[in-house]
Amino acid sequence: MARAGLNTERLTRAGAELADEVGFDRVTVSALARRFGVKDASLYSHVRSSQDLKTRIALLSLEELADRAAAALAGRAGKDALAAFADAYRDYAREHPGRYAAARLELDPQTARDSAAGRHSQLARAVLRGYDLAEPDETDAVRLLGSTFHGYIALERAGGFQHTPRTSEQSWPRIVDALDALLRNWPAG
Amino acid sequence: MARAGLNTERLTRAGAELADEVGFDRVTVSALARRFGVKDASLYSHVRSSQDLKTRIALLSLEELADRAAAALAGRAGKDALAAFADAYRDYAREHPGRYAAARLELDPQTARDSAAGRHSQLARAVLRGYDLAEPDETDAVRLLGSTFHGYIALERAGGFQHTPRTSEQSWPRIVDALDALLRNWPAG
DNA sequence: TAAATTACCTAGGCCTCCTAGGCAAATGTA
DNA sequence: TACATTTGCCTAGGAGGCCTAGGTAATTTA
């Protein structure tokens, strides 16, 4: 019989696509096998477990997201950079909801260290170079930005902003404005 | 044979405890049945499905969390209220990680309307009464607060703040300071 | 071209979700 | 108190997901 030509990389990519189509939590070994027209057991030559598959999708997504954020920041500074950074995350989450969810998967510490997570905080620090923050304020500001963007995207995706006439679209740039103002006037310790 | 004395309420409470012990995503009908020493099938007289059980745990948690936030706000205003509100969420997440995760479950629109979610945004608006924001800034500020607190707690729980010497404990009050400063100096549209 | 490797298979075990139908305990009624 | 009704939990069983062991056929290497 002809072979399907599976390998870890292809499975990971197909898993990411599947996540975007049906949701990250619905990515299963069985569903992925079905997509390739092979039996579940066949996937275990390429992927150790269902958890391993999900982790690989998470790592892929973190890389993609870091690439996007880096591209968005190139040549920008100050508020411009802040807005571009913010939009890079939000746009990725809208275009690739499954991958974005994957990027939020809890990784074990070692895997996290080997991931693109470090690039993400470097990029956030790059945004802050346009403002005037000394340590430890810079670290706190990085945390604030990450928290706010992630939190907003999560609440938006969960439909949390649909109960008032003001759209999520309208609030978003104003929240970026507010963060910009805050970073320019960070309170003294 | 003696009966276990199950009912929807007891199952929901036990499910919430189970969530805190093993994680919300590990709450299963089987695990809950085991805890009561009955067969899985027996639970279906009290709960329609696994999803139904999880939704009930989510609603319970949202109520509890709103109660806590309301109690924290009583008699406070301004930055005091902001800090108490923030701490109420974070403390609940630490004491009841499974319930907190449950409270973030995506609810269908009707269920969300019937939930305590509305109380949560009312409480956030109460915090903002200590600041001087007109609509639509107030709505945007509510969204910012919700996003930031939720995002921070999520990143903290995922171990996202463990890669630098600055602890999450140190950053948190500074982020509350920063939000207070921002609310006092909200940028003009 | 033969040997070694690799890709996928079958078979089967375990777990979770959920339905159907049954019996026995608790509760209501005469 | 006796019977009827309701209700709580049961057994049986199907479907689907995860994963292992062991096999065979396709491909690559020597």
- Note the pLDDT tens digit of each residue in A103-161: 999 888 889 989 999 999 999 999 999 899 999 999 999 999 999 999 899 889 887 78
With beta carbons less than 8 A apart as the criterion, state whether A154 and A147 touch: no
Contacts of B184 (CB under 8 A, 6+ apart): B131
Distance, in Å, from the CA atom of B21 to the CA atom of A140, rounded to the nearest integer, reads 31
Residues of chain B with pLDDT under 50: none
Q: With 80 as the cut, is the pLDDT of residue A167 above it?
A: yes
Domain ranges of chain A: 8-184
Q: With 70 as the cut, is the pLDDT of residue A1 above it?
A: no
Q: Of all residues in chain A, what percent carry a pLDDT higher than 90?
A: 85
DSSP string, A14-32: HHHHHHHHH-GGG--HHHH
A4 versus A65: which is more confidently predicted? A65
Residue with tokens 């923050």: A133
The topology (CATH level 3) of B8-184 is: Tetracycline Repressor; domain 2 (1.10.357)
The CB-based long-range contact list for A5-13 (8 Å cut-off, 24+ gap) reads A6/A36, A6/A38, A6/A42, A6/A43, A6/A45, A6/A46, A7/A46, A8/A46, A8/A47, A8/A56, A11/A43, A11/A46, A11/A47, A11/A53, A11/A56, A12/A53, A12/A56, A12/A57, A12/A60, A13/A60
Distance, in Å, from the CA atom of B79 to the CA atom of B179, rounded to the nearest integer, reads 9
- CB half-sphere exposure, B144, CA atoms < 13 A: 30
Show the tokens assigned to A53.
């598959």
The pLDDT of residue B1: 57
Residue with tokens 């639509």: B136
- Note the pLDDT tens digit of each residue in A4-35: 788 999 999 999 999 999 999 999 999 999 99
Residues of chain A contacting B112 with CB distance shorter than 8 Å: 159
With beta carbons less than 8 A apart as the criterion, state whether A61 and A96 touch: yes
Residue A38's pLDDT band, with cuts at 50, 70 and 90, is very high
Residues of chain A contacting B141 with CB distance shorter than 8 Å: 178
Residue A139's identity, in one-letter code, is T
Strand C interface, protein residues by Cβ within 7 Å = A 1, 3-7, 37-42, 45-46; B 1-3, 28-31, 40-41, 44, 48-51
Per-residue pLDDT, averaged over A73-85, amounts to 97
Q: Write phi, then psi, for A44 (nearest 5 degrees).
A: -75, -5
Q: Write phi, then psi, for B4 (nearest 5 degrees).
A: -80, -20
A122 vs B: CB within 8 A: no
- Name the pTM for this structure: 0.92
Per-residue pLDDT, averaged over A81-95, amounts to 98
